[in-house]
Structure 1
Amino acid sequence: MGTKLIIDTDPGVDDAFAIALAAVSADVDLLGVTTVFGNVPLAMTTANARRLLQLCDRPDVPVAAGAARPLVHRNERNSTVHGVDGLSGRAGSLPEATRPLEPQDAVGLMVSLLEASDEPVTIAPIGPLTNVAALLAAHPGVRDKIARIVLMGGGMAHGNITAAAEFNIWADPEAARRVLSEDDVPCVMVPLDLTHRCAVDSAWLAKLASSGPIGKALDALTPDYLAHYRRVLGYDGIVMHDAVAVAEAINPGLLRTETYPVNVDTSAGPSRGQTLVDRRPALQDPGAQPGRLIEVATDTDLDGLREFVLTRLIEAR
């Protein structure tokens, strides 16, 4: 078995693609999935994650529910991009999960999985970072069991939920600051700037839909998401944000990264949730400004990335 992986998620259409990518990959040991509020409330994200694993015939993977709100400031605003239930109103089309929800919470499950692992584990947070921040704060002893954190979030040039902030970071900036700027676990940030360039078109989606039951079911979850991105992209296509990060978690080096100081704006102003990625060459010194040095994904072989994801999902049976 290859990469040992825990996914922390708020499904979400792009989360659905990411979960399926990991669940069907033979070189991934998917230890567990934890859920967090985000695209829709926690009860929906948890139900969606469980149904998606059932779709992929992975009832062996435990699911635990985590944070229902941010660490500090309550945020009542959910994303509207993914439809009323996070999956374009079609969550009910997925099979009911046969495995019960874990009795322990998300942090508890992550701790038990990390402590039981005989080698370091990659964590892929693809929603707000509340659960991961709580893990690092409350259980510092597990840091050595984390190989790296590969997260989807942030933006260097702009945001999407606001002009400055990307949704996952904006949803809990204090948690994001803890993970990105204040801890010492190796971290890869996969920002909007790259994920938008990895968008897939209708031909890609048609190949997925015709590939078999899993591909057909995933494509069926996209109508609301597709309608949103038709306006954003100017053509029929979607942005697989979270699947890009999970692809890197599975296959290290698939994305090209550069190392920068990163900080997160936790103020109450209009830039709240902005990821401050300082690309000034003179400041590539850890002591030059607040914010530790982390890896930021800046490029990839775009066609190769699309083919990697499609091939994995098409080959799923």
Structure 2
Amino acid sequence: MKKLILDVDTGVDDAQAIMIALTAKDVKVLGITCCHGNTPLENVLTNTLRVLKVCNRLDIPVYKGFSKPLLARKQHASDYHGKDGLGDVPDPDAPSVELLQKEKAAEAMLKIARENPGEVILVATGPLTNLAVAVQLDPSFPKKLKALYIMGGNTESRGNTTSCGEFNFVADPEAAFIVLDRYTCPTYIAAWEFSCRSSLSWSFWKEWLSVKTEKAAFIRKISDLSMKVSSYQKEVIAGQGFNPCDVFALAAAVDDGFITESEKVAVTVELDGKHTRGMMVLDYIECLKKEHKAVIMKTADLEKLKKMLYNAVK
């Protein structure tokens, strides 16, 4: 049984990732921690509860994390995810935030890892603020984790938020720097360009969501805005089809055979560049003198991903 903590900024692709985690075989979600990102934190909290509601899993504890980055200017992705983060299709019967745990996100991460030493896989699909604070509170936290999976960063300086920066890292560059510097557990990164190359066809999208279930209807509804935006974006920006960015990190975490090609390299984050702040740096010539290397995903088994997506909406 794989034990997961999901750290999310629940927008459309986070919702899809959560739904995969809840339906994956031999996987137990121990908790979901929430962070600013795609939408303001208060929306992230409600959105996460909405996803759990449609999956009939409101038993999973949800924790409130940080509402702003460590130092950077706060920003959101409302042009893609909608102002509320889930396509601006509100649910009048959304679960109350009174269901949230009283414990804060960073403290909850530490507690869950302490209670399950060496067993917890942390999957981060938003800005890394909660993770950065957790390791500041307990420097030994990464040693208690089994692995860390991140959707974020980029490998070829192709940005989707700035010229050279991917949204999750640009949204809190200092946090990303701290995490890549201090998390020495096995670390796997699904970067922006990898997700673009791994885009699924629009024909699959239509077939996937033609399933007559409440879950599929939910995904169709919240995704309408983001899919319209995607269909108008240039291929060089978002790939050639449906690009569920956050899903790739989650899929790799729940299925050890999902990644078919990867490379290990030391990584860091640029903090000072005028055009490159927030860009992930890959150190192929060992300038950083880092012993810890991250696993950078290069190719994946997309047929497995399709099966996960189908199972998520059954």
TM-score by shorter chain over 0.5: yes
The match for 1:166 is 166
Tell me the secondary structure at the aligned position of residue 61 of structure 1: coil
The answer to whether the Cα contact below 8 Å between 1:107 and 1:132 also exists between their aligned partners in 2 is yes
Tell me by how many angstroms 1:95 deviates: 4.6
Distance 1:91 1:9 in 2: 19
The match for 1:156 is 155
Runs of at least 4 residues off by over 3 Å? 76-79, 233-237
Tell me by how many angstroms 1:130 deviates: 0.4
The match for 2:297 is 297
Q: Deviations over 1:17-76 (max 9, x none)?
A: 001110122321000001000011000011101110111111111000101111123324
> Which of 267, 270, 283 is 1:262 aligned to?
267
The answer to whether the Cα contact below 8 Å between 1:44 and 1:86 also exists between their aligned partners in 2 is yes
Q: 1:132 to 1:98 in 2, by over 3 A?
A: closer
Give RMSD over aligned pairs.
Answer: 2.2
Tell me by how many angstroms 1:236 deviates: 8.8
Q: 1:193 to 1:268 in 2, by over 3 A?
A: closer
Q: Deviations over 1:116-167 (max 9, x none)?
A: 2265100000000000111112112333321111000011111110110000
Q: 1:55 to 1:95 in 2, by over 3 A?
A: farther
Tell me the secondary structure at the aligned position of residue 148 of structure 1: strand
TM-score, normalisation: structure 2 = 0.91
Q: State yes or no: 1:246 paired with 2:250.
A: yes
Distance 1:128 1:98 in 2: 21
Tell me by how many angstroms 1:7 deviates: 0.4
The match for 2:214 is 213
Q: 1:142 to 1:182 in 2, by over 3 A?
A: closer
Superposition pairs of residues 110-129 of structure 1, within 5 angstroms: 110-117=109-116, 119-129=118-128
Of stretches 133-142 and 59-68 in structure 1, the one that deviates more from structure 2 is 133-142
Of stretches 179-188 and 105-114 in structure 1, the one that deviates more from structure 2 is 179-188
The answer to whether the Cα contact below 8 Å between 2:40 and 2:76 also exists between their aligned partners in 1 is no
Q: State yes or no: 1:222 paired with 2:245.
A: no
Distance 1:28 1:154 in 2: 26
The answer to whether the Cα contact below 8 Å between 1:54 and 1:96 also exists between their aligned partners in 2 is yes
The match for 1:231 is 232
Q: 1:177 to 1:152 in 2, by over 3 A?
A: same
Q: 1:122 to 1:307 in 2, by over 3 A?
A: same
Letter in 1 for 2:248: V
The match for 2:139 is 140
Q: Deviations over 1:91-115 (max 9, x none)?
A: 4277536971011110121122112
Superposition pairs of residues 90-129 of structure 1, within 5 angstroms: 90-92=89-91, 95-96=94-95, 100-117=99-116, 119-129=118-128
Letter in 2 for 1:146: L
Tell me the secondary structure at the aligned position of residue 146 of structure 2: strand
Of stretches 37-46 and 135-144 in structure 1, the one that deviates more from structure 2 is 135-144
The answer to whether the Cα contact below 8 Å between 2:199 and 2:240 also exists between their aligned partners in 1 is no
Letter in 1 for 2:126: G
Distance 2:154 2:83 in 1: 26
Flag structure 1 segments of 5+ consecutive residues without an equivalent: none
Distance 1:166 1:233 in 2: 16
Q: 1:93 to 1:306 in 2, by over 3 A?
A: farther
The answer to whether the Cα contact below 8 Å between 2:142 and 2:183 also exists between their aligned partners in 1 is no
Task: Give percent identity, aligned residues only.
Answer: 28
The match for 2:79 is 80
Tell me by how many angstroms 1:294 deviates: 1.1
TM-score, normalisation: structure 1 = 0.90
Of stretches 203-212 and 91-100 in structure 1, the one that deviates more from structure 2 is 91-100
Superposition pairs of residues 18-97 of structure 1, within 5 angstroms: 18-92=17-91, 95-96=94-95
Distance 1:145 1:64 in 2: 20
Distance 2:252 2:74 in 1: 30
The answer to whether the Cα contact below 8 Å between 1:208 and 1:216 also exists between their aligned partners in 2 is no
Tell me the secondary structure at the aligned position of residue 5 of structure 1: strand
Tell me the secondary structure at the aligned position of residue 72 of structure 1: coil
Distance 1:268 1:73 in 2: 14
Distance 2:72 2:128 in 1: 14
The answer to whether the Cα contact below 8 Å between 2:71 and 2:174 also exists between their aligned partners in 1 is yes
Q: 1:160 to 1:213 in 2, by over 3 A?
A: same
Distance 1:112 1:175 in 2: 20
Q: 1:272 to 1:119 in 2, by over 3 A?
A: closer
